[in-house]
A and B are shown apart, each in its own frame.
Chain A
Amino acid sequence: MNIGRALAVSRRVFMDLKNDKRTMALITIAPLFAMAIFGLAFSGEIKDVHVIVVNEDLGMQTPMGQVYLSEAVISNLDPDTLDITAVDNLTSALAMIEDGEAWAVFHFPANFTNVTVLAQNQLTDARTSVNIYIDMSNINVADSIMQAFNGAVQQTISESGFELPVSMNKTAVYGQNADFMDFFVPGIMAFVVYILTTLLTLITFVGERTSGTLARLTSTPLRESEIVAGYAITFSIVGTLQALLLLTVGMLVFGVNVEGNVVLAFTVVALLAIVCQALGILLSAVTHREAQAIQLIPFIIMPGFLLSGVFWPLEALPSWLRPLSYLVPPSYAIDACRSVMLRGWGLDMVWMDIVALIAFAGVFLFLATISLKRRG
């Protein structure tokens, strides 16, 4: 591996992109376009959101026996939307939100049934309520949790005839002020880099194959690994610049807030770009003409669209489809970018995503190099 030659390749790819006004437009305008269009138009049905119930309700002695209104509410929670775990202790339940293992905690205090029943009969001035702690970093998920909870409360009211305290203590653990764009921009950053990097490398590389330049390079001292490295350098920089552009416009136009370390998020994007350029090179090996490359485009876009969690949270996928999302590299980048930019998580929390991306990069870079070594 000769770094000078890899840099020569990198510079050449830069020049190629820079000299072509249409490509430059694609690199700069397409991300903004995607952000504007999709950002303004998305929501989805959400399933199996992991939530925790901490039920400390002591219930109330009645002629019919011990009554627990909390149990009624819990049994009315929609089991499709929510995947419920009971935990004894509020502190450890809250720790699970902090760790990203659960999206919300519903906490029923000890006096819940007692005070509710007494208040209904004007026997006390005390008030009680369900405390809800919720991770608002994914606005779609947070909304559907609240909907499921409100639904359960309404149903319990109509079944039991008790006016439940629907005024809830809602404490946002993450993303207190997050609106949809805050949630959406980190995802679209990674998504756009995935699509554009893969497509641009694929098209550039099919060009190298059809024009004969790739074959010509074989007669020079340039090695396959240096070609791949050169492309990786260029596209990781281009990807980072695209993310920077998106974030800047997101902040200026849509007032997007960022909690965490932007540099970490950009590192994730750069890593994703490296994975994607290698994927583009690999895909070019199975295409011989530009027209065939175009046929591949849906197979690049659709999995990223559906399985990466950018538009629909992974919780919105049918459970049999979910494992596939682990095979789609942007899933990890989108998760990491959101965690960093919305929850303010650091490397200690998103390292798993980063390790996954590095593993993808390693495998794809290796395969791309091998695919270039093949000759007739």
Chain B
Amino acid sequence: MHAIKVEKLEKKFGEFRALDGLDLEVRKGEVYGLLGPNGAGKTTAIKVLTGLLKKTSGNAEVLGIPIPNKDIAQRIGYMPQETALYVGLTVHQNLEFFGKLFGLDRAEILTREKELLKFIDLEKWRDELVANLSGGMKHRVSLACALIHQPEVLFLDEPTVGVDPELRVSFWNYFANLKSKGITILITTHYMDEASHCDRVGFMRSGKLIAEGEPQAILKEAGTKSLEDAFLFYARRGGQ
């Protein structure tokens, strides 16, 4: 069963094709890493899948429902690449707002908040305005907002940017924990060391997937030691 299924997905901005026939399948309960250089179309793919952008053509399904469809909103969590938070509100007020949008009641919000603040290690900052947090801290709050309603599918656009190494380790432990509960995660990152935590990774370039597989299998196929080198290998091969 696929949590995400994308076929020949195309997204044009004017004449420019940000997604140029993307094919992608993410299985239920899988952590899938989408890798690729700046401008490859990773964010665009996530925005189309979460309903922020309209696709130009092709097919895309999330949890078996063709998108765009508001019915899946309740079941997905989305953490944008930019820290889209209400900086004039406190950490608590942000979490509370997103909780309410997903229909959580007071008690549920408080329970979830406690758990999430612990996970992002910001318990002491609960009543601080988001504007007063550091960049990395804001990122952590943004992640917590995406998780508040325990979504079945998570779209995380560079969730670990600006997050310190120690916390990054705990993030990946948490993702593993979510995965063990059957939650699907589509994640983008530029940290290749993180990519090895994924069940599978896909390399994107110019709006297309140029290679895909388990990290170990990819290294083996490309005959390289690191995923960076593997990417260069595929990029060069694709360019021929």
Interface residues, chain A, with chain B CB atoms under 8 Å away: 4-5, 7-8, 11-12, 15-16, 19-20, 211-213, 215-223, 375-376
Contacts and interface: CB of A to CB of B under 8 A. Distances in A.
Interface stretch (B34-42, B46-54, B174-182, B207-215): B46-54
A230 to B, nearest CB: 10
B85 interface: yes
B119 interface: no
B88 A19 contact: yes
A223 B84 contact: no
Nearest to A213: B84
Interface string B176-190: 000000000000000
A221 B88 contact: no
Interface residues of B, number: 31
A90 B73 CA distance: 69
B101 interface: yes
9 contacts: A8-B100, A19-B129, A211-B87, A212-B80, A213-B85, A215-B84, A216-B78, A219-B52, A221-B73
A11 B83 CA distance: 21
Interface stretch (B90-98, B197-205, B232-240): B90-98
Contacts of B84: 211-213, 215-216
A5 B93 CA distance: 15
B86 A375 contact: no
B135 interface: no
B4 interface: no
A4 B51 CA distance: 22
Given A222-B101, A376-B54, A213 B70 contact: no
A220 B52 CA distance: 10
B100 A221 contact: no
A86 B47 CA distance: 70
B98 to A, nearest CB: 7
B78 A16 contact: no
A220 B102 contact: yes
Contacts of A212: 80, 82-84
Given A5-B101, A222-B101, A215 B80 contact: yes
B89 interface: yes
The 8 A-B pairs of least Cβ separation, nearest first, read: A212-B84, A8-B100, A219-B50, A219-B78, A216-B84, A221-B73, A16-B88, A212-B82
Interface in B64-114: 70, 73-74, 76, 78, 80, 82-90, 93, 97-98, 100-103
B86 A213 contact: yes
Contacts of B70: 221, 223
A233 to B, nearest CB: 14
B13 interface: yes
A19, A217, A220, A222: residue with the most chain B Cβ atoms closer than 10 Å? A220
B63 to A, nearest CB: 14
A264 B52 CA distance: 42
A8 B97 contact: yes
Given A219-B78, A376-B54, A4 B88 contact: no
A77 B14 CA distance: 66
A217 B51 CA distance: 10
B73 A220 contact: yes
Contacts of A376: 13, 52-54
B73 A12 contact: no
B98 A220 contact: yes
Nearest to B77: A219
B53 A375 contact: yes
Nearest to A5: B101
Contacts of B97: 8, 11-12
Contacts of A218: 50-52
Given A223-B70, A375-B53, A216 B101 contact: no
A216 B53 CA distance: 11
A238 B180 CA distance: 47
A18 to B, nearest CB: 9
A213 B86 CA distance: 7
B91 to A, nearest CB: 12
Nearest to B74: A221
